[in-house]
């Protein structure tokens, strides 16, 4: 019996173990979002969109059975507007250019940051996420 050293299968198994150990260490250092954050900021958004589709179909079917086109249109417009407002209330994230402005409530922007966004979590924690006057601005580099 020759003992030529570790076989290819042993080396491959060890490299796999090394990669798994490195991935576990990286996951422990950077765990990512918690289940609560993932659920509120990502998963519920998908279920919400599915829910509004179901609700809109129910409105259409109900008014179709009644036979009123005017009622259908008015109810559907109202439902879409309320669904839009709820979506913005929960998940609105302003663009970078909007963070420089002072927030004013409007019919299309009920809140500055959606309730279930990372920005809202920072604001609730007392961290300012608005732009400050200190430091360079991107316009200086253009």
Task: Give the pLDDT of residue 47.
Answer: 94
E strands, the chain, are none
Classify 102 in phi/psi space as left (phi over 0), alpha (psi -120 to 50) or beta.
beta
> pLDDT in tens for each of the 142 residues of the chain?
455 655 666 656 678 888 888 888 888 898 888 888 889 988 999 999 999 999 999 999 999 999 999 999 999 999 999 999 999 999 998 876 555 667 788 888 888 888 888 888 888 888 877 655 566 666 667 6
| Rounded CA separation 119/94 (Å) | 9
Task: Give the pLDDT of residue 71.
Answer: 94
43 lies in a domain? yes
Backbone dihedral angles phi then psi of residue 103, each to the nearest 5 degrees? -80, 135
132 lies in a domain? no
Q: Are 99 and 130 in contact (CB under 8 A)?
A: yes
Domain interval for residue 45: 35-127
Task: Give the pLDDT of residue 9.
Answer: 62
Task: Give the pLDDT of residue 50.
Answer: 95
15 lies in a domain? no
Question: Token pair for residue 86?
Answer: 């709820």
17 lies in a domain? no
DSSP 8-state class, residue 116: T
25 lies in a domain? no
Closest listed residue to residue 42, CA positions, set 28, 32, 27 = 32
The structural domain count of the chain equals: 1
In a 13 Å sphere around the CA of 83, the CA atoms on its Cβ side amount to 18
69 lies in a domain? yes
């Amino acid at each position: 019996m020759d003992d030529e050293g570790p076989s290819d299968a042993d080396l491959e198994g060890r490299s796999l173990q090394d990669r798994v150990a490195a991935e576990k260490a990286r996951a422990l250092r950077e765990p990512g979002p918690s289940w609560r954050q993932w659920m509120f900021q990502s998963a519920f958004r998908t279920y919400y969109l599915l829910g509004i589709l179901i609700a809109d179909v129910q409105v259409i079917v109900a008014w179709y059975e009644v036979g009123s086109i005017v009622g259908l249109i008015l109810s559907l417009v109202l439902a879409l507007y309320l669904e839009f407002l709820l979506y913005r209330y929960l998940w609105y994230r302003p663009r970078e250019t909007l963070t420089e402005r002072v927030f004013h409530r409007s019919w299309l922007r009920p809140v500055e940051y959606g309730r279930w966004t990372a920005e809202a979590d920072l604001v609730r924690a007392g961290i300012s996420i608005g732009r400050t006057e200190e430091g360079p601005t991107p316009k200086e580099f253009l």
